[in-house]
Amino acid sequence: MTRYIVTLKWGDRYGPEYVNRLASAVRRHTRTPVTIVCFTDDGTGIDPSVEIFPIPEIDLPAADKVTGWRKICLFRPDLPIDGLGLFVDLDVVITGSLDDFFTFGNEDDIPIIHNWMAFHKKFFIKDPMIGNSSVFRWKLNHCAFVWDQFHKEKEWALANFRPPQSYLTHCIRPRMKFWPAEWVRSFKRHCRHAFPLNWLLAPSLPASAKIIAFHGKPDPDEAAVGYRGKRLNHYSRPAPWIDKNWC
């Protein structure tokens, strides 16, 4: 079965350099053949090695078309590619082999990240069984049940699920598996040190991590040079390992 690395790019938040760096990292960290695909509204500047397709149509309110709700379009039954797809957000840094992501579990499983909770919240509630859609795998054109379910309950879904990835979890739960926790780590949760050490120590790279996800702020380019957020615990010193892996 053909293997694809799939990403989405819309608007101007992330330029073509994000796609090109992702593609370069994929080539460094895959031993078996993969095809890199970007669904986008503007393919200008993207490396020719990346296959470019228009973003599949999905009927969403304008405000939701620039959010994670748009990922539901990837579950259409008529995509122009067919095989096993590994979706990877543009705002990640790949630091290890991706081959295991394609062989984990069964082909009909939909593996996804177990979403991370802030440390202080874990004292009060158990980690909810919610996925983080920065990295997930699905069988292309064979998971239309997500697409169909969304359109049957679209208004209810848009009104009741925040963030959008919690709705994706709701749909895929019968087939959902979580990646091994050490494979995909959060920059904010596992690399940036807790306050006040974040002011003294540079963010670390977990030894077993294959992908570092940058959800929210900072983005990789910001974290590489050091980031000062609105709160003291948002600050992070420069992380030179980002530029070494994100190129």
Task: Please determine, for residue 131, whether its predicted confidence score (pLDDT) is greater than 70.
Answer: yes
CB 199 within 8 A of CB 237: yes
Task: Please determine, for residue 128, whether its predicted confidence score (pLDDT) is greater than 90.
Answer: no
- Write down the pLDDT at residue 209: 98
- Write down the pLDDT at residue 163: 87
Asked if 112 and 208 sit in the same domain, the reply is no
> Residues, the chain, total?
247
How would residue 122 be classed by pLDDT, with cut points 50, 70 and 90? low
Cα 165 to chain centroid, rounded: 10
CA distance 5 to 35: 6
For the chain, list the strands marked E by DSSP: 3-9, 35-40, 51-54, 84-88, 92-94, 110-114, 131-139, 176-178, 184-186, 211-213
Asked if 170 and 228 sit in the same domain, the reply is no
Side-chain-side CA neighbours of 148 within 13 Å: the count stands at: 7
Asked if 149 and 205 sit in the same domain, the reply is no
Average pLDDT for residues 197-207, to the nearest whole number?
96
State both tokens at 44. Answer: 């200008």
Domain boundary among 180, 200, 223: 180
Task: Please determine, for residue 205, whether its predicted confidence score (pLDDT) is greater than 80.
Answer: yes
How would residue 116 be classed by pLDDT, with cut points 50, 70 and 90? confident
> Coil, strand or helix: which one is 99?
helix
Shortest CA distance to 3 belongs to which of 89, 90, 107? 107
Tokens 């440390």 locate to 119
The per-residue pLDDT of the chain, averaged, comes to 94
Asked if 166 and 234 sit in the same domain, the reply is no
Asked if 137 and 232 sit in the same domain, the reply is no
Asked if 54 and 172 sit in the same domain, the reply is yes
Asked if 82 and 124 sit in the same domain, the reply is yes
CB 199 within 8 A of CB 235: yes
Asked if 167 and 235 sit in the same domain, the reply is no
Please, which residues bridge with residue 131 across strands? Answer: 114
**Which tens digits make up the pLDDT trace of 6-60?**
999 999 889 999 999 999 999 999 999 999 999 999 999 999 999 999 999 999 9
State both tokens at 182. Answer: 């050490």
**Which tens digits make up the pLDDT trace of 50-78?**
999 999 999 999 999 999 999 999 999 99
Domain boundary among 180, 195, 211: 180
The string of DSSP letters for 157-207 reads HHHH-SSHHHHHHHHHGGGEEEPPTTTEEEIIIIISPPTTGGGTSPPP--T
CATH number at residue 50: 3.90.550.10
Asked if 10 and 99 sit in the same domain, the reply is yes
Number of domains in the chain: 2
Q: Is 142 exposed, middle or buried, given 0-12, 13-18 or 19+ CB atoms closer than 10 A?
A: middle
Task: Please determine, for residue 124, whether its predicted confidence score (pLDDT) is greater than 80.
Answer: no
Query: Cα Rg for the chain, rounded, in angstroms?
Result: 18
Asked if 175 and 190 sit in the same domain, the reply is no
Domain that holds residue 172: 3-180
- Write down the pLDDT at residue 216: 87
Asked if 158 and 54 sit in the same domain, the reply is yes
- Write down the pLDDT at residue 190: 96
Average pLDDT for residues 80-101, to the nearest whole number?
98
CA distance 247 to 24: 7
- Write down the pLDDT at residue 51: 98
Percent of the chain with pLDDT over 90: 90
Domain boundary among 180, 199, 233: 180
Judge if pTM exceeds 0.85.
Answer: yes
- Write down the pLDDT at residue 127: 66
> Coil, strand or helix: which one is 105?
coil
State both tokens at 200. Answer: 């003294």
